[in-house]
A and B are shown apart, each in its own frame.
Chain A
């Protein structure tokens, strides 16, 4: 067994954290408060080629594995920007996965170089209000009209839609009732987020406010056959292969966030004196931090193993899911303990840990809720009967 990062991974971690380290808590607090997209941060990473980490070399990327992307985003999340920083890059790095794996050669040539350089922003359009986690219930519909498609419907939670030129859109092309299986009959489009046909409304949300998530109302949006990813009616299955890598990377981000919170809390616990001694001398403060730290350490091993499994072609579904579960819980716990360690100041924006805490809440819900992860583990790992 070898648990040491190789030179590439170590260099990626070092350089990514050096670059992310240029953007401090003040920068992120301000962007979070003003709901401003962190362009300086995004551009700094785009200029150094980080966005193209998994884009194949023939399209201008670096063609590296999920391990590399996960180490990159772990380092980015372990900075003052926590989830804001990770999400800023995450979607640009991962959003185009289905195009990389299932897009036509023409579509790849047309869109991947701009993805790798960071010039093309793509939002992800799967979730709908009335479908929820049951994706088979989506109602956004693509209707054939002569030589092209016309899409109508509504999506929700579309992250970065305000910056995106395109949206990776899952729409029904065959009604659910007419399909042999509920998850058939949906098609994945790389559609233009054309303001004449798409209205974007931001959702006022709990945290991670430098990166917007939106509702997108789609009316008569024309899409050509060239922008269909893979085959018609098989779109959901193309999303499936992106799910494991996404969970692995989300888990790595969670661990980074948790470590950032622990760093802050430990520093404060050593410095802050109450009753004539550092508060960290009280085991009631120290033990929960040690406990949270150990859980992060354990979760780190899970995502690292899952990334290794994915990159070496081993089955990784259970590992990826469990990594996401453990890491999101560990991250939230670490942030919560950080707030508690700061006492009253933990609740003040100027100390930043409340921002970490708000941001760490997200990954217990998205991109998949931890209840659904537990359903997966119960059914597919333990072999228990499906509950829903």
Chain B
């Protein structure tokens, strides 16, 4: 079976994020990047299927040169092959355009299963996975907590509000958008890292995939106007005095605001 894992490289969770002076995005120059946390769980799910049965795991990512790092890491962890869409004309794409690129890769690869993360740590869109599924005319499940193959079917557990789980059955081929924390993500071993550089990594452009008209700032239906940190508001009132004074003051305040 063939499994496609779509992953994004995002700023490292410890990176300090400074907004560019024109407010268009964050300053990327001197920060570290890593694989989006959701996607690492998606990759791990795919690799677990490969541990169990004959499967080829292909990882795909869109991004500038630095993105090869993320793909090499995935190869080091055990993926077989990587596709890197590295094309300046893709910059400024909205989620739908990103989904169209990934779907174009999906059409070329014809995977039995596609894994994505539920959302990306940086953009928080949570829409690329379902869009890719629609474009590939595949059933999909989001907020996936577990996935198990049963013949031509996939049984997935989805996370609902309040901690409940929903069990769904999907016909293959299908797409799963994975929640974080659902498995223990493996580490690349030193030997895995060294073997990764011998694995194929194809670099493609939007034109190669036939989607050049559909991507980039020109095609985007959503344009980012500004990114900014909301200014600190002054509304906070700090109660001072002894514990009793503070407690009494707090109760009075709650009553005053009609919160009880």
Chain A residues packing against B (C-beta within 8 Å): 7-8, 10-12, 14-15, 18-19, 44, 47-50, 52-53, 62, 64, 263
Are A62 and B190 in contact, with the CB atoms below 8 A?
yes
Are A49 and B191 in contact, with the CB atoms below 8 A?
yes
B250 within 8 A of A: no
* Chain A proximity mask over B172-201: 1 for CB below 8 Å, otherwise 0: 000000000000000111111110110000
Are A11 and B189 in contact, with the CB atoms below 8 A?
no
The prevalent SS among residues of B at the interface is: helix
Are A7 and B73 in contact, with the CB atoms below 8 A?
no
Please report which residues of chain B, range 187-221, place their CB below 8 angstroms from some CB of chain A when the two chains form the complex.
187-194, 196-197
Q: How many angstroms from the CA of A53 to the CA of B72 in the assembled complex?
A: 19
B68 within 8 A of A: yes
> Which of these, A48, A62, A263, contacts B187 with CB under 8 Å?
A48
Are A11 and B191 in contact, with the CB atoms below 8 A?
no
Q: Which 4 A-B pairs have CB atoms at the shortest separation, nearest pair first? A: A48-B189, A49-B190, A49-B189, A11-B193
Are B194 and A7 in contact, with the CB atoms below 8 A?
no
B111 within 8 A of A: no
Residues of the B chain whose Cβ atoms lie less than 8 Å from the Cβ of A48: 187-190, 192
Are B72 and A11 in contact, with the CB atoms below 8 A?
yes
Are A15 and B197 in contact, with the CB atoms below 8 A?
no
The prevalent SS among residues of A at the interface is: helix
CB distance from B62 to the nearest CB of A (A): 19
Residues of the A chain whose Cβ atoms lie less than 8 Å from the Cβ of B68: 7
Q: How many angstroms from the CA of A199 to the CA of B191 in the assembled complex?
A: 38
Residues of the B chain whose Cβ atoms lie less than 8 Å from the Cβ of A8: 193-194, 197
Are B187 and A19 in contact, with the CB atoms below 8 A?
yes
Residues of the B chain whose Cβ atoms lie less than 8 Å from the Cβ of A44: 187
Please report which residues of chain B, range 30-55, place their CB below 8 angstroms from some CB of chain A when the two chains form the complex.
34
A-B contact count (CB 8 A): 48
CB distance from A59 to the nearest CB of B (A): 14
Q: How many residues of B contact A (CB 8 A)?
A: 17
Residues of the A chain whose Cβ atoms lie less than 8 Å from the Cβ of B106: none
Known pairs A11-B188, A48-B187; A62 contacts B194 (CB<8 A): yes
Please report which residues of chain B, range 1-17, place their CB below 8 angstroms from some CB of chain A when the two chains form the complex.
14
B76 within 8 A of A: yes
- Closest chain B residue to A18, Cβ basis: B187
Residues of the B chain whose Cβ atoms lie less than 8 Å from the Cβ of A64: 190, 194
- Closest chain B residue to A52, Cβ basis: B190
Residues of the A chain whose Cβ atoms lie less than 8 Å from the Cβ of B72: 7, 11
Q: How many angstroms from the CA of A254 to the CA of B104 in the assembled complex?
A: 48
B27 within 8 A of A: no
Q: How many angstroms from the CA of A50 to the CA of B76 in the assembled complex?
A: 14
Residues of the B chain whose Cβ atoms lie less than 8 Å from the Cβ of A263: 14
Known pairs A11-B69, A15-B76; A53 contacts B34 (CB<8 A): no
Are A53 and B190 in contact, with the CB atoms below 8 A?
yes
Q: How many angstroms from the CA of A8 to the CA of B138 in the assembled complex?
A: 37
Residues of the A chain whose Cβ atoms lie less than 8 Å from the Cβ of B192: 48
Residues of the B chain whose Cβ atoms lie less than 8 Å from the Cβ of A7: 68-69, 72, 197
- Closest chain A residue to B193, Cβ basis: A11
Q: How many angstroms from the CA of A118 to the CA of B156 in the assembled complex?
A: 39
Known pairs A7-B197, A8-B197, A11-B196; A62 contacts B69 (CB<8 A): no
Q: How many angstroms from the CA of A47 to the CA of B191 in the assembled complex?
A: 11
Q: How many angstroms from the CA of A113 to the CA of B34 in the assembled complex?
A: 33
Identify 15 new A-B residue pairs, CB closer than 8 A, beyond the known A11-B73, A14-B69, A15-B190.
Answer: A7-B197, A8-B194, A10-B69, A11-B69, A11-B76, A11-B193, A15-B76, A18-B187, A48-B189, A48-B192, A49-B191, A52-B190, A62-B190, A64-B190, A64-B194
Residues of the A chain whose Cβ atoms lie less than 8 Å from the Cβ of B193: 8, 11-12, 15
Q: 17 A-B pairs, CB-CB below 8 angstroms?
A: A8-B194, A8-B197, A11-B76, A11-B193, A11-B196, A12-B193, A15-B73, A15-B76, A18-B187, A44-B187, A48-B187, A48-B190, A49-B189, A53-B190, A62-B190, A64-B194, A263-B14
